[in-house]
Amino acid sequence: MSIFIEGMVLGLSLAFLFGFGPAFFALIQTGIHRGFWQGALLAFGIVLNDAFVVTLSLLGVAQVFGNTENYSLLGIVGGAILIVFGFVTYKKKTSTEETDKSEITNSPHPLSYIAKGFLLNVANPFVWLFWIGISVGILARFSSNTNNMILFFVGTLSVVFATDLAKTFLASQLKKFVNDKFLILVNKIAGLALVGFGVYLIVRAVFLMS
């Protein structure tokens, strides 16, 4: 099996095992409210952060976040960010008419979607822990062969990005069949999910510190 294919297999595993975290709900909500292209920008921000974490891990930052105290601090900060995102999402009121108009007259800057995707992912310490673990294993396997490591992670991140695009596309297609009540329900579910993840991260971090 080629190194690139091995990376793709890992990407599929990541999509199924960790595909329903905070980023998932953000992708679904953005796809329904704003459409595919805005959701694609959010997905790009997410995979950009994955690449960022992988790069830092390979450069040796894994030793920093391997420390329990630092990991706990990241969990508290990340949890707080998710709670803020969740609260804003939960309180957001919208309608199908407003959504259609906002896409034309009041659509946020494209960079804001990329930034949100990046922050949502960077706020989740499980993402850091996962990529650090994978990076350590890949470093041990390929040693100083940089080309093989790059090829492996390109395969992994390509599949992660493709699956996120698929989620966004499916969500954007649902927009044709939804009403105002459904949009509000999506906001509330996504908001509660983000708050729930945030609280869990903070509680877990405090538990690790005790």
* Structural domains in the chain (count): 1
Domain around 13: 3-209
The per-residue pLDDT for 44 is 96
The per-residue pLDDT for 99 is 46
Mutual orientation of helices 96-105 and 22-34 as an angle, nearest 10°?
80
- The helix or strand, by DSSP H or E, that contains position 112, with its residue range, turns out to be helix 110-122
Amino acid (1-letter code) at residue 15: A
- What phi, psi does 178 have (nearest 5°)? -105, 160
Maximum CA extent, the chain: 56
d(CA 31, CA 172): 4
The per-residue pLDDT for 78 is 66
The per-residue pLDDT for 63 is 56
Helices then strands, each counted (H, E), the chain = 10, 0
d(CA 9, CA 29): 27
d(CA 34, CA 28): 10
pTM of the model: 0.69
Mean pLDDT by 10 residues, the chain (210 residues): 83 69 81 89 93 83 56 71 78 55 59 89 72 72 77 92 92 75 75 80 76
C-beta neighbour count of 163 within 10 angstroms: 18
b/e sequence 56-95, b meaning 16+ C-beta within 10 Å: bbbeeebeebeeeeebbebbbbbbebbbebbeebbebeee
The per-residue pLDDT for 64 is 52
Residue 21's SS3 state is coil
b/e sequence 16-40, b meaning 16+ C-beta within 10 Å: eeebebbbbbbbbbbbbbbbbebbb
